[in-house]
Amino acid sequence: MFLSLLRIIKFSLQDISRNIWLTIATVTILVLALLSVNTLLTVEVLSRHAIEAVKEKVDISLYLKADASEEQITSLKTQITQMTKAKKVMYTSKADALRYFREKNKDKPEVLTALRELGRNPLSPSLIIVPNNVDEAPQLINEIKQIDSDIIESRDFADNTMILEKINDITKKISEVGLFIIFIFLFTSMLVAYNSIKVAIYTHRREIEIMRLVGASNKFIYLPFVLSAIIYAFLSVVLIVLLFYPFLGLLQPYLEVFFMDYNINIIDYFVNNFWIIFGLQFLAVSAIGVLSSWLAIRRYAKV
Amino acid sequence: MIKLVNVSKSYLKGVNILQAINLYIEAGEFVSLVGQSGSGKTSLVKILIGEEKINDGRVIIGDWDITKISRREVPYLRRQIGVIFQDFKLLPQKTLWENVAFALEVCGQPQVKINKIVSSVMRLVGLEDKKDRYPHEVSGGEQQRTAIARSLVHQPKILLADEPTGNLDSINANEIIDLLIRINKFGTTVILVTHNREIVNQLKKRVIAIEKGKVVSDQEKGKYLL
């Protein structure tokens, strides 16, 4: 048994090294297939992060009356914080609102001049409420509407509801389209991997015939090719790791500029999920390799 | 001993490749199987090595009835019958030595035994000095001798030679026939499938002629009569 295993490994390694151009061609095709999968994965991760970042930015502003006392505001804040659908509640005083307004419009001198000429702070204090889940925001708005408090100046959230619905709609569509594209890419890549290994075995059909002729048992015909397919998978995953990390390194600075303030680090994602991402890719390509080897050899050797 | 009883084979309905063939070949005989292309010679070889199944009749090799041999049993049959072909059928990515050793490796033989057997058959066919060359680095005659060496590693009781001289010049062809005669003298049954009239006539051994899937003559010390 051990001797047979050693010989199967020997035949497989001999086959790979003595058909080096076929090995290079097969591994290159597998690397290209994996490159498309990983590129898609990168796009998917970035879009998911972008959606999450947009959702993080969704909040509900509850404007309060200017003469509301600190005590009333704290009581209202506590009441809203206790709502299960609210993630956090932040208080913005009149002074803070004015400071943010000035900061936001620092490049618009006409706005700042108008504010100065007004001679008073026209802004209201507010409570900024971040929902736990953007999908639950409409229900949270309904709960907020039902609060009985004199210090609430405005309860009209019509615009917010519409925007939230749009965000939910867009993110849902992006997820659906993303899933569809992932499926197409995966399917195409699997087909490419499947066919490249089948072609590699097709070139060996004469050898398979000779193996049968000299009385090779099925395992001696089948297993070296299966092992070769697993080695192709291993080599292609190692190569994709060596190629893809430098590519991510080049991509990261551009992402930092593009997603400013969102703290997206694609390299960290690929490092933290290394074994899941590349382990699964190795298992998937190996499985495809074993399947295509089995089907191709069955055809040429009638194993 | 090879025994064929009323063997018939057809690939398509109504197109008979072999029709009611009855043959008995003694152990240790040298038999030439002659016939024109398409007469059914190669089909008979394929049946004897378990590559084709017959439609009717029985095929017995030694005390093994291979009429309904299963796919799983075929490798074991192949280890008992040596076969050589016109196109040598050597593995191009293996050296001559590795080609011969391969037939033993796939049967799980230990390395020491493999080295011993391969050395001895390579010596028998006169190729021990070219053992590390690849098939494309040697002549056709040497490739065929390698194929013969490979067919002998299991010490088969039967050696089937399907047009072994078809791709060779007359000098190399005669060398191969001499080698087959030597192997036959060791007690191996040799079945030479050929349409080379000159070789058959020189041999002066049993000749079985097949035409349109039927045995049309069977002569002891015969000649190529077709």
Asked whether residue A163 is assigned to any structural domain, the reply reads no
B83 interfacial to chain A (CB closer than 8 Å): yes
Contacts of B72 in chain A (CB under 8 A): 218
A18 interfacial to chain B (CB closer than 8 Å): yes
Q: Are residues A132 and A181 in the same domain?
A: no
- Cα separation, B46 vs B26, in Å, equals 20
pLDDT, position B34: 92
Write the DSSP string, A148-193.
--TTB-----HHHHHHHHHHHHHHHHHHHHHHHHHHHHHHHHHHHH
- Least CB-CB distance to B83: which of A206, A213, A218? A213
pLDDT, position A155: 67
B105 interfacial to chain A (CB closer than 8 Å): yes
Q: Are residues A194 and A277 in the same domain?
A: yes
- Least CB-CB distance to B75: which of A19, A210, A217? A217
Asked whether residue A282 is assigned to any structural domain, the reply reads yes
Q: Which of A10-14, A47-51, B94-98 has the lowest mean pLDDT?
A: A47-51
Q: Averaged over B114-133, what is the pLDDT?
A: 94
Contacts of A4 in chain B (CB under 8 A): 108
Pair B8, B195: CB distance under 8 Å: no
Our CA-based measurement puts residue B84 at a distance from the nearest CA of chain A, in whole angstroms, of 10
Give me the number of domains chain A comprises.
2
- Cα separation, B210 vs B166, in Å, equals 18
B89 interfacial to chain A (CB closer than 8 Å): yes
Q: Which of A177-181, A221-225, A273-277 has the lowest mean pLDDT?
A: A177-181
Most A CBs within 10 Å, among B46, B76, B83, B91, to test the A interface: B91
The reply to whether residue A215 touches residue B91, judged by beta carbons under 8 angstroms, is no
Asked whether residue A119 is assigned to any structural domain, the reply reads yes
Is pLDDT above 70 for A53?
Answer: yes
Pair A185, A36: CB distance under 8 Å: yes
**What is the band of A16 on the pLDDT scale with cuts at 50, 70, 90?**
confident
Amino acid at site B10 = S
Q: What is the average pLDDT score of chain A?
A: 83
Asked whether residue A164 is assigned to any structural domain, the reply reads no
A211 interfacial to chain B (CB closer than 8 Å): yes
Per-residue model confidence as pLDDT tens digits over A17-46: 888 888 898 899 889 889 988 988 888 888
Question: Which domains are assigned to chain B?
Answer: 1-80+156-226 (3.40.50.300), 90-154 (no CATH)
Per-residue model confidence as pLDDT tens digits over A142-171: 888 888 777 888 766 666 667 767 777 877
Q: Are residues A86 and A10 in the same domain?
A: no
Q: Are residues A134 and A183 in the same domain?
A: no
pLDDT, position A137: 79
Identify the bridge partners of residue B209 per DSSP, sorted by sequence position.
B34, B217
Going from the C-alpha of A154 to that of each of A93, A123, A124, A126, A142, the distances in angstroms are 16, 13, 10, 10, 14
Which among B48, B47, B36, B65 has a CA at the least distance from the CA of B10?
B47
Asked whether residue A226 is assigned to any structural domain, the reply reads yes
Rg (alpha carbons) of chain B, rounded to whole number: 17
Contacts of B105 in chain A (CB under 8 A): 7, 220
Nearest-5° Cα angle at B184, B111 to B38: 100
CATH number at residue A101: 3.30.70
User: Quick one: tokens of A81?
Assistant: 């914080």
Q: Averaged over A72-98, what is the pLDDT?
A: 86
The reply to whether residue B106 touches residue A212, judged by beta carbons under 8 angstroms, is no
Asked whether residue A80 is assigned to any structural domain, the reply reads yes
Which of residues A134 and B203 earns the better pLDDT score? Answer: B203
Q: Which of A101-105, A178-182, B77-81 has the lowest mean pLDDT?
A: A178-182
A219 interfacial to chain B (CB closer than 8 Å): no
Nearest-5° Cα angle at B85, B185 to B15: 115
- Cα separation, B61 vs B65, in Å, equals 6
pLDDT, position B137: 96
B14 interfacial to chain A (CB closer than 8 Å): no
Q: Are residues A183 and A269 in the same domain?
A: yes
Q: What is the DSSP pairing of strand B30-34 with strand B189-194?
A: parallel
Q: Are residues A178 and A294 in the same domain?
A: yes
Contacts of B106 in chain A (CB under 8 A): 7, 211, 214-217, 220
Q: Are residues A32 and A118 in the same domain?
A: no
Contacts with B, A 95-154, CB within 8 Å:
none
Q: How many CA atoms lie within 13 Å of B161's alpha carbon, on the beta-carbon side?
A: 34
Asked whether residue A160 is assigned to any structural domain, the reply reads no
Phi, psi torsion values for A123, nearest 5 degrees: -85, 150
% of chain A exceeding 90 in pLDDT:
15
Its domain, for residue A12, covers 2-55+169-301
Q: Averaged over B220-225, what is the pLDDT?
A: 75
pLDDT, position A301: 66
Most B CBs within 10 Å, among A8, A210, A222, to test the B interface: A210
Amino acid at site A140 = L
Residue contacts between A and B (CB atoms, under 8 Å)? 53
Contacts of A228 in chain B (CB under 8 A): none
Per-residue model confidence as pLDDT tens digits over B145-165: 999 999 999 899 999 999 999
Is pLDDT above 60 for A303?
Answer: no
- Least CB-CB distance to B103: which of A14, A206, A215? A215
Contacts of A19 in chain B (CB under 8 A): 93
Pair B30, B184: CB distance under 8 Å: yes
Is pLDDT above 80 for B31?
Answer: yes
Buried b (16+ CB within 10 A) or exposed e, A138-172: bebbeebeeeebebbeeeebeebeeebeebbeebe
Our CA-based measurement puts residue A188 at a distance from the nearest CA of chain B, in whole angstroms, of 33
Going from the C-alpha of A196 to that of each of A292, A293, B77, B201, the distances in angstroms are 9, 10, 34, 51
B60 interfacial to chain A (CB closer than 8 Å): no
Non-local (6+) Cβ contacts of A130 within 8 A are A56, A58, A59, A60, A86, A87, A88, A89, A90
Q: What is the DSSP pairing of strand B30-34 with strand B64-65?
A: unpaired
**What is the band of B192 on the pLDDT scale with cuts at 50, 70, 90?**
very high
Q: Averaged over B163-172, what is the pLDDT?
A: 88
Q: Are residues A175 and A144 in the same domain?
A: no
The reply to whether residue B102 touches residue A214, judged by beta carbons under 8 angstroms, is yes
- Least CB-CB distance to A211: which of B71, B77, B106? B106
pLDDT, position A160: 64
Q: Are residues A112 and A220 in the same domain?
A: no
pLDDT, position A302: 61
Non-local (6+) Cβ contacts of A2 within 8 A are none
- Cα separation, B72 vs B69, in Å, equals 8
Q: Are residues A179 and A282 in the same domain?
A: yes
pTM over 0.80: no
Asked whether residue A271 is assigned to any structural domain, the reply reads yes
Domain boundary among A108, A124, A152: A152
- Cα separation, A87 vs A7, in Å, equals 63
User: Quick one: tokens of B102?
Assistant: 């391969």
Q: Are residues A194 and A266 in the same domain?
A: yes
Rg (alpha carbons) of chain A, rounded to whole number: 31
Which of residues A142 and A232 earns the better pLDDT score? Answer: A232
Q: Averaged over A216-234, what is the pLDDT?
A: 88
Give the residue from chain B lying closest to A10, CA to CA.
B105
Domain boundary among A118, A152, A186: A152
Contacts of B71 in chain A (CB under 8 A): 302-303
Q: Are residues A191 and A147 in the same domain?
A: no
Mean pLDDT comparison of B38-42, B53-57, B142-146, highest-scoring range? B142-146
**What is the band of A133 on the pLDDT scale with cuts at 50, 70, 90?**
confident
pLDDT, position B226: 61
Look up residue B212 and give its DSSP letter. T
Domain boundary among A86, A117, A152: A152
Q: Averaged over A298-303, what is the pLDDT?
A: 66
Give the residue from chain B lying closest to A210, CA to CA.
B89
Identify the bridge partners of residue B4 per DSSP, sorted by sequence position.
B23, B59
Non-local (6+) Cβ contacts of B156 within 8 A are B79, B80, B81, B82, B188
pLDDT, position B180: 94
Pair B158, B31: CB distance under 8 Å: no
User: Quick one: tokens of A99?
Assistant: 């400071």
**What is the band of A197 on the pLDDT scale with cuts at 50, 70, 90?**
confident
B70 interfacial to chain A (CB closer than 8 Å): no
